[in-house]
Amino acid sequence: MESQYQTRTFIQGDEMKLGRLFNKAHDWYVGFVPRTEDYWRWCCLNRPDVSREGIIIVEEKTNREIIGYTVVGKSGNVWELCVDPNVDRKYVVSVLLENAVSYLRKVNADQMVLNVPSDDLVMQLACGKMDFFELPPDQMFVGITDFEALVGALAENVRDRLGNFRETVTFRLLNARSWINPVFSVRIDGEVQVFENAVPSGFSIEVDSDVLAAILLGNTNPFTAVLRGKLKVNPFWKFRKAMSLLNALQIHNSWFYSLADYG
Amino acid sequence: MVEKMYKYRLFLPQDSDAVRGLVKAAFPNFLEGDYWDWKHFNNPQFDPSIVVVSEKDGEIVGCSHWLKGNIKIGSDLVVGSFLTCDLAVKPEQRGRGIARELLLQRRTRETFRSRGIVVNYDFADPRLAKRLYTPLLGYTKVGVAVKKYAKVLNWKRLIDFVSNEDAGRILLRRFPKLRELNLSICFKSKSAPPLTLRFMNGKIEATENEPSDVHILVEADLRVLVSVFEAKHVMTQLLKAVFQRKIKIKGKFLKLYEVTQNFGLLKTVLRVISTPEPDFFSHAQTPKYKVRTFEDGDEIEIVRLFDKAYADYGGFVPRDPKYWLWCCLQRPGVVREGIFVVVDENDNSVVGYAVAGKWGNIWELCYDPAHDVETVVGMLLGETTRYLESMEAASVSFNAVEEDSALLKVCNKFGFEALISPRMYLSILDTRGVVALLADGKREELIRYFDEAILVKLKDVPAWVKDTLFVRIDRNGVYVDENVHPYTILVKTDFTTFSSLLAGVLTPSAAVAQSKLEVEPFRKTSTAIKLLSYLQFDAKWFFPMSDYG
């Protein structure tokens, strides 16, 4: 296995490949900034505590394709660690972690901290094997500033899953903050159209803005919101349609962010 | 006249040094060096029109940043986002709603729409999020799929911490028992090199080894160890962990007893494992207090101290150096020799002062709550009492904050007795102005929760006050007027009750229960009560004697 891969540090020109690998490795997750070449350069390479020796790369010997990398800061933070999902991740993860520890010992850092996806057993096993201990994870808080744009984008994104759903829906947000538009409509037909006000619609959904945020962000089940009287569908007989729409719009992916995403 | 102490405005390039310093001071454990420059100034996405600063007397006292970018929220879906970050307020200005105001600045539909921003997010302390972000901004905690792992590579930070002479002195001051302690403990964990702490002759020594002669050996997972020492009931947690075999302890019984007697000390030292105590280090230098009389130029620091000490109170005249000189130094009966100032000799900062008039009134007595109250107030009361005795004053009196138990304790020590407090009577001359000011401070909440037009009809009003007051709250804002407009709620009350409500000395529900306030239609009573409770002055009232005039 070892002979198949080799380890090196960052060289100019790697930025785009590393950004692409990051996006590929985190394809299933949401909640992070998708890496572009410029963003990665700013976020990792130009970060004050990162030097080129702290960016450790594992590549295939034959075609020099990058299959894993980590960005380690002198502060002890592992800003990014990711591995191509199509290779032997177990080996690559342990090589990256071992190299990161050696680098941090060399720069006299007193600790090493990293974020790992909670459903990535390979990474967790590697951390356990290297005697890492678990800390409570940092919490992420999200606020929606433009509901109609988000609902429109989510509807567009799940258009196929909505099947034969063809309706115009009006959302009436209760207790909306001053920067939020309290009434908007979405027409879902062959395409998705968003209106910044109420238009004649098949049904309306009346809901507290915080509750709708929790539903869309995957924290609350729409049905539970109805049972608790926090969401009303008018006319009520369109209730099932409203539930199927909200279920489809809900973000079901896991939220994951590496330390570099904290800014 | 309504005066606003803080000004909020957009960031300007010439603010860089002040904002850089503010962020660095607020997050001392964060990355050192050019962190702010990298994150904001040299960020290709940096947009100064979304960075806000708060100013007081031309000095920047707070800042808030948004980092513009994109965030992935679906398998193939990326939307425009703002990351809220580097929200900082100068420590002496905290508790005055500045962070709240900073967060609300620029938060308009136009700001978000024109930049294509769909979500706003933050990685925040859950306590802060619960108190501020969620109720104010509507942030939702998302269920994350993150596991955070750590490994201690060396104990350099802890060793540096205990070998710091100042830190050692403070530990000794905080834990006098340290002088008699003779104890050595070795901590062993898979996630860290072994650590031995030796407490001997009032000194602490930390080494990164596992000697054979230690009194106690503790073996545990580092997370378990930290959680035990962070727990509210350390002993219970420790016993639980021992019974669950999460912690193994070997050692002499008597020495174990000594450990139980010194948990506080161990906890302080071991907290450095997870997080260094910034407060501890910020006071790492033992203060050396000195009392002296007033010197020209002291008034600037004195006013700053007054503002800090009474940050949570209302009812007094806000000080500026000119007002203070008139109110205290130029007051008949006050001479420079009667104004005592306690300074911390480490940095010559003023940490307390008292202004004594030769007939026995202490017009102002104020101290920095971050310092040793007993010593500072003790010095001030000692000097003023001696001075007033020499002036042959018949008695000494001053106003103290009723809830300030530390100050009252020192007063008792000096033989002071509590008298019946003088009462302050307040008459509102401009109800519209007061209500408009109170509504302005709660604007966001009012707009969020109410869509009402309320007319207040006042009975028994003095000649200079109009008997009607109209407040309309809708999405466009809060409008306050003295003229009658169409309304949805009518509130009938008398002027004294309404003044008491605004001053915060009577609750709206109590006014209703005592039949001092009527609401029409009756079904809107709870809405009216809720609305009026937002229009109350919620700070505590305090006035030093010098405010009597």
CATH code, A19: 3.40.630.30
**A263 domain-assigned:** no
Would you state the pLDDT for residue B355?
93
CB contact A105 to B (< 8 Å): yes
Q: Which of A112, A135, A158 is the last residue of a domain?
A: A135
Torsion of CA B162, B163, B164, B169, to 10 degrees: 70
Picking from B148, B161, B247, B446 by the largest number of A CB atoms within 10 A of its own CB, the best residue to mutate is: B148
**A24 domain-assigned:** yes
CATH number at residue B296: 3.40.630.30
Taking CB atoms and an 8 Å limit, are B152 and A139 in contact across chains?
no
Please indicate, yes or no, whether residues A123 and A239 belong to a single structural domain of this protein: no
Would you state the pLDDT for residue B108?
93
Q: Which of A79, A113, A135 is the last residue of a domain?
A: A135
Please indicate, yes or no, whether residues A101 and A216 belong to a single structural domain of this protein: no
The rounded distance, in Å, linking the Cα atoms of B100 and B59 is 19
pLDDT band (50, 70, 90) for residue A103: very high
**What does each C-alpha distance from A225 to A222, A252, B17, B78, B123 come to in angstroms?**
5, 17, 48, 27, 26
Whether B347 shows a pLDDT value over 50: the answer reads: yes
Average pLDDT over residues B429-457: 86
Residue written as tokens 């102490």?
Answer: B5
Please indicate, yes or no, whether residues B60 and B114 belong to a single structural domain of this protein: yes
The rounded distance, in Å, linking the Cα atoms of A219 and A221 is 7
Cα of B532 to nearest chain A Cα, Å: 18
Please indicate, yes or no, whether residues A74 and A176 belong to a single structural domain of this protein: no
For A177, which of B74, B138, B148 is closest by C-beta distance?
Answer: B138
Please indicate, yes or no, whether residues A175 and A50 belong to a single structural domain of this protein: no
Closest CA to B355 of B319, B316, B310, B387: B387
Helix (H, G, I), strand (E, B) or coil at B417: coil
Please indicate, yes or no, whether residues B409 and B482 belong to a single structural domain of this protein: no
What is the domain range of residue B378?
Answer: 289-413
Mean pLDDT for chain B overall: 84
Cα of B78 to nearest chain A Cα, Å: 8
pLDDT band (50, 70, 90) for residue B341: very high
CATH number at residue A187: 3.30.1050.10
pLDDT band (50, 70, 90) for residue A127: very high
Would you state the pLDDT for residue B73?
94
What is the domain range of residue A39?
Answer: 2-135
Please indicate, yes or no, whether residues A165 and A244 belong to a single structural domain of this protein: yes
Please indicate, yes or no, whether residues A151 and A242 belong to a single structural domain of this protein: yes
Please indicate, yes or no, whether residues B277 and B293 belong to a single structural domain of this protein: no
pLDDT digits (tens, 9 = 90+) for B251-292: 876 777 777 777 777 776 666 544 444 444 444 445 678 899
Q: Which of residues 164-223 of A touch B (CB under 8 A)?
A: 175-182, 209-210, 213-214, 217-219
Q: Report the number of distinct structural domains present in chain A.
A: 2
Average pLDDT over residues B156-165: 80
Please indicate, yes or no, whether residues A131 and A6 belong to a single structural domain of this protein: yes
Please indicate, yes or no, whether residues B377 and B446 belong to a single structural domain of this protein: no
Nearest CA in chain B to A106: B153
Please indicate, yes or no, whether residues A130 and A152 belong to a single structural domain of this protein: no
Would you state the pLDDT for residue B149?
92
Nearest CA in chain B to A254: B145
Residues of B with Cβ-Cβ distance to A104 under 8 angstroms? 153
Please indicate, yes or no, whether residues B189 and B268 belong to a single structural domain of this protein: yes
Residues of B with Cβ-Cβ distance to A141 under 8 angstroms? 121-124, 129, 133-134, 139-142
Q: Which of A103, A135, A167 is the last residue of a domain?
A: A135
Residues of B with Cβ-Cβ distance to A142 under 8 angstroms? 119-121, 139-140, 142
Q: Which of B413, B441, B468 is the last residue of a domain?
A: B413
pLDDT digits (tens, 9 = 90+) for B80-119: 999 999 899 887 777 778 888 999 999 999 999 999 999 9
**B52 domain-assigned:** yes
Please indicate, yes or no, whether residues B104 and B191 belong to a single structural domain of this protein: no
**B543 domain-assigned:** no
Q: Answer yes or no: are the C-beta atoms of B103 and A179 closer than 8 Å.
A: no
**B418 domain-assigned:** no
Q: Which of B107, B137, B167 is the last residue of a domain?
A: B137
Count of pairs with CB atoms under 8 A, one residue in A, one in B? 254
CA atoms B476, B481, B487, B491: torsion sign: positive
Would you state the pLDDT for residue B424?
72
**A89 domain-assigned:** yes
pLDDT digits (tens, 9 = 90+) for B265-274: 777 666 654 4
**A262 domain-assigned:** no
Please indicate, yes or no, whether residues B269 and B367 belong to a single structural domain of this protein: no
Would you state the pLDDT for residue B280?
41
State what percent of residues in chain B have pLDDT above 90.
27
Please indicate, yes or no, whether residues B248 and B126 belong to a single structural domain of this protein: no
Please indicate, yes or no, whether residues A74 and A152 belong to a single structural domain of this protein: no
pLDDT band (50, 70, 90) for residue B1: very low
Please indicate, yes or no, whether residues A155 and A109 belong to a single structural domain of this protein: no
Whether A200 shows a pLDDT value over 90: the answer reads: yes
Whether A238 shows a pLDDT value over 90: the answer reads: yes
Q: Which of B282, B307, B326 is the last residue of a domain?
A: B282
Q: Which of residues 42-101 of A touch B (CB under 8 A)?
A: 42, 46-49, 73, 75-76, 101
Please indicate, yes or no, whether residues A32 and A122 belong to a single structural domain of this protein: yes
Please indicate, yes or no, whether residues A156 and A89 belong to a single structural domain of this protein: no
Please indicate, yes or no, whether residues B386 and B461 belong to a single structural domain of this protein: no
pTM: 0.72
**B546 domain-assigned:** no
Please indicate, yes or no, whether residues B121 and B186 belong to a single structural domain of this protein: no
CB contact A253 to B (< 8 Å): yes
Task: Return the CA Rg of chain B.
Answer: 29
CATH number at residue B221: 3.30.1050.10
The rounded distance, in Å, linking the Cα atoms of B90 and B61 is 5
* ipTM beyond cut 0.90: yes
The rounded distance, in Å, linking the Cα atoms of B262 and B320 is 47
Please indicate, yes or no, whether residues B277 and B297 belong to a single structural domain of this protein: no
Q: Report the number of distinct structural domains present in chain B.
A: 4
**B169 domain-assigned:** yes
**B257 domain-assigned:** yes
Would you state the pLDDT for residue B132?
83
For B133, which of A133, A141, A180 is closest by C-beta distance?
Answer: A141
Would you state the pLDDT for residue B428?
79
For B109, which of A138, A179, A214 is closest by C-beta distance?
Answer: A179
**A189 domain-assigned:** yes
Please indicate, yes or no, whether residues B306 and B380 belong to a single structural domain of this protein: yes
Whether B370 shows a pLDDT value over 80: the answer reads: no
Q: Answer yes or no: are the C-beta atoms of B363 and B319 closer than 8 Å.
A: no
CB contact B31 to A (< 8 Å): yes
- Distance between alpha carbon B455 and the CA centroid of its chain, in Å? 37
Nearest CA in chain B to A74: B31
Taking CB atoms and an 8 Å limit, are A113 and B222 in contact across chains?
no
